[in-house]
Structure 1
Amino acid sequence: MPFQLNAPMQKHPELSDSAKHPVRILHVVGKMDRGGLETWLMRVLRSIDRQHFQIDIMVHSQAAGDYDPEVLALGCRILPCPYLTQPWRYAWEFKRVLSAYGPYDVVHSHVHFFSGYVLQIAKAAKVPCLIAHSHNDHRAIERSKNWLRQGYLSLMKRSISRSMTHGLTTSQQAALDLFGPAWVEDERINLLFSGLDLHPFVTEVAPDDVRQEWQIPADAWVIGHVGRFEPQKNHDFLVRVAAEAMHQHPNSYLLLVGQGSLQPQIERQVRALGIGDRVVFTGPRSDIAAILLGGMDAFLFPSIHEGLGVAIVEAQAAGLPCLISDVVPVEADVVPGLVRRLSLARSTVEWANALLTHSRNTPRKSVKETLPSLEASPFNMENTVPLLEALYAAAANQ
């Protein structure tokens, strides 16, 4: 009988007599930088019962990640396996890690299509529970790739289907990308929304305290965005929309939270648009809730593709009116009335007009209004972690 994520469960599931040792889990990620997946995984590490569950993280980079110090402080090991372009060496190193640091009860892979290779190796090593986790929807960009890439995707999808014992997905669109349309009939696959830690949103934040760090006037209207400076987040389009909105609303600023390879290009672009003195690049931040609550008045999110868009859920927790692209999964709409969607086929002027109109017509909500919707939802980390604990414990009991 397959494990069902919507089944009743205890907060800390008991292990059977044959599995009294801590359940050992190996998560596989690219690098522990501040991204949506990595931030969610950190919330899991902070919240999970570490007496019952012992977690290590395999990364595909030898460079240090933003979260590495905290990962180590929580008693987890970071195990590099950077040989993505050398499949045979990667397999050898992966097997060595499984042998030297295992045995593991669970391999939980977050590296999307490459999970096909990860889980194939782990299956050959007789790891009992193999989880493929889909956090994104790449279909819009993968359709245009050449035949070689298409062949790789087909091979990896078949390998995932043959190897995994469980599949998790942050949205229905993310499921379609990794598992295909048959996922709805596959009892191994379940939705698991990326949970938020809601506690930081309860803390009262003074806008003046937040804005003073970047010399943003207290009475300014601030457009905000949280996301990596990578093509998926569509910063080029975002800043052009913001520039048009700033032209119509002179006392306005743009606050960009995150880091990434395209940041230098975007910095040049805002200077060329003549808005460089009103655009703030904060870099990676650990105080996202405070910035959303005190630093922003509206949230702009024109992503080209998304698996869910956790930043949108966080913006709603902070009560912000949000204008987002219509490719963002509908599961991200949590607080009624705050989110408006628009096609990326619309012009930057239409986007700017929609942002201004939506902000004028949508009063900001207080956290007393937003948090009840989130506390009882699958986006609450306190509801998410017990689901994972039950899944991991079931694997150990088998």
Structure 2
Amino acid sequence: MSRISNLFPPGSFSSPGAKWRQEDRVSWMGQNEIEEKMIEGGSVIRVLHVLGNLGRGGAETWFVHILQNINRDLFKIDVMVNTRHIGVYEQEVRRLGSRILVNESPSNPMRYSTNFLRIVRAEGPYCVLHAHLQLFTGLVMRLGYHAGIPIRIAHARNSSDGIRLTPQRVLYRALMRRWVGKYATRRLAVSRKAAEGAFGSRYGSPESCEIMSSGVDLGLFMEDVDQRDVRAKIGIRNGCRVVGHVGSFTPQKNHEFLLAVASCMMEEDEDLVFLMIGDGPLREKTVARVKDKGLESRFIILRDVHDVPRLMLGAMDLLVLPSLFEGLPRVLMEAQAAGLPCLASSVITSEARIVPGSVEFMPLEAGPRAWAEEAMQLLRQGKRGLDRVKVMAVMEKKGFTIAANRARLEQIYLQDMMTGAGISPE
């Protein structure tokens, strides 16, 4: 902190007890100039992100894209995960110079806490703690405070954790939200639904929580692809219409409902193929259910693929997302960038619709048959009216890009360090 403070005039740092302000701005020196001076002076801002793993989920993909784009000369970023089965992004994260720290005991809070404090003492000190663990983030914020990390950011990713609310769970949720309110120096969320779902109405309000959408790397969607070539490589014959789904094989993504929709659609169109991309604990069960229905020749199920944008551009004609809950599904943003019409459950926030007509929202209560009819109608309409250039221009304007997220995140890290935005718990 001392090296950083030397760059700024006296009084630049507010008192340790200062409340978080959503829009602190440094007017007397530009951000780029600040970063250059800090790098010249040998300063670095060390950041610790906390994620469940490094699989190909929305938060994990966002983190890797941030890591690829952020100023790594100034921001030295490590990541803590709660499993030794780190995930497909492990090699890329290490290649980018980040250390991966394993804390395996989230189900045992006492052990997790002891390990967290030990790891931070051994690998720190850190200037910023940035956690993405839904309710469990509350404990991480508290630990960060006791570890002496001055900037502590709670980042809400989902509108729910999908766990049934028992009396014990209600108490746990209340405690975690209280700790987020007490120990987080800043709160971020991908949508207002995610903010209120994770932090509650008080700490998830517009006055207390900033919305930072899960931005997309638009450069990945500017490629011109050969549809025949893309489809041939994954075994889809020419002339088929392809319905896509991208997501982890977990209860949240509602694969059983998706299979019921697929069965109804395939009764009507014998050339229809479903392309499902993802991995997770319910994958094998889903594959077995497809076989039970006698539909294995009509399904292509890919595990972990690195080229989802290319498959959206070249293989899919429609994306269907019947999730039980979401924050702001990154895959829905990516599909729109690829020019795909989308059918999604109405539990998803309307913030996910980039331009009018790009996403149709439908209640799950309508049932698989009604969903199938709507999906067939969207397929018949094709991609007419979806101008990819227009969609991406709107995404740029609204800040739904990884470039906008990276710029805002650098600004947050810098201004919070400069203003001493850490708070003392009430």
After superposition, residues 93-112 of structure 1 pair within 5 angstroms as 93-112=115-134
Asked if the contact 1:13–1:390 (Cα under 8 Å) also holds between the matched residues in 2, the reply is no
Give 2:308's match in structure 1, choosing from 268, 273, 288. 288
Match of 1:389 in 2: 410
Contact 1:202 1:367 in 2 (8 A): no
| Secondary structure, counterpart of 1:33 in structure 2 | coil
What's the TM-score, normalizing by structure 1? Answer: 0.94
User: Does 2:144 correspond to 1:126?
Assistant: no
Task: Tell me, in whole angstroms, the C-alpha distance in 1 between the residues paired with 2:245 and 2:223.
Answer: 21
| Alpha-carbon contact 2:82-2:103 (below 8 Å) kept | yes
Q: State the secondary structure of the residue aligned to 1:285.
A: coil
TM-superposed deviation, 1:20: 5.7
- Count of aligned positions: 396
SS in 2 for 1:323: strand
1:380 to 1:11, Cα distance in 2 relative to 1, 3 A: farther
Q: Which position in structure 2 is the counterpart of 1:135?
A: 157
User: What secondary structure, in the 3-state scheme, does the structure 2 residue paired with 1:224 have?
Assistant: strand
Of the three residues 32, 50, 61, the one matched with 2:83 is 61
* Corresponding position: 1:167 with 2:187: yes
Taking the aligned partners of 1:370 and 1:392, their CA distance within structure 2 comes to 30
CA distance in 2, matches of 1:33, 1:246: 31
- CA shift at 1:371, angstroms? 1.9
Aligned residue in 1 for 2:295: 275
Alpha carbons 1:233, 1:304 under 8 Å: kept: yes
Whether the 8 Å CA contact 2:188–2:211 is kept in 1: the answer is: yes
Q: SS of the counterpart of 1:107?
A: strand
2:12 match: none
Paired residue for 2:423?
Answer: none
The reply to whether residue 330 of structure 1 matches residue 350 of structure 2 is yes
Scaled by the length of structure 2, the TM-score of the pair is 0.88
2:416 maps to a residue whose letter is A
Whole-angstrom CA distance in 1 between matches of 2:258 and 2:223: 30
Instruction: Give the alignment of 1:66-77 within 5 angstroms.
Output: 66-77=88-99
Structure 1 window deviating more from structure 2 (112-121 vs 178-187): it is 178-187
1:360 deviates by: 2.1
1:394 deviates by 1.7
Aligned to 2:167: 147
Partners of 1:338 and 1:362 within 8 A in 2: no
Cα drift, residue 182 of structure 1: 2.1
Structure number with larger C-alpha Rg = 2
Partner Cα separation in structure 2 for residue 337 and residue 288 of structure 1: 23
Q: Deviations over 1:150-171 (max 9, x none)?
A: 1111111111111100000000
Structure 1 alignment gaps of length 5 or more: none
Partner residue, 2:50 = 28
Aligned residue for 2:7?
none
Alpha-carbon distance change, 184 to 84 in structure 1, aligned in 2, over 3 angstroms: closer
- Give the direction of change, closer, same or farther, for the CA distance of 1:64–1:125 in structure 2 (3 Å limit): closer
Whether the 8 Å contact between 1:229 and 1:259 is mirrored in structure 2 is yes
**Distance between the aligned counterparts of 2:204 and 2:100, measured in 1?**
34
Q: Residues 11 and 333 of structure 1: is their aligned pair in 2 closer, same or farther, counting only changes over 3 Å? A: farther
- Structure 2 residue 253 is matched with structure 1 residue 233: yes
Q: Aligned partners of 1:241 and 1:104: how far apart in 2?
A: 48
Taking a change above 3 Å as real, the CA distance of residues 60 and 387 of structure 1, as seen in their structure-2 partners, is same
RMSD after superposition? 2.0
Tell me which of 350, 369, 376 is aligned to 1:349: 369
Q: 1:95-116, CA deviations, whole angstroms, 9 ceiling, x for partnerless residues?
A: 1121111111100011111111
1:201 touches 1:367 (CA, 8 Å); kept in 2? Answer: no
Residues 195 and 284 (structure 1 numbering): CA distance in 2 closer, same or farther, change over 3 Å? same
Residue by residue, what CA displacement relative to the aligned partner does 1:253-279 show, whole Å, maximum 9, x if unpaired?
Answer: 000011111111111111122211010
Letter in 2 for 1:356: M
Match of 2:360 among 300, 319, 340: 340
| 117-126 or 175-184: bigger deviation | 175-184
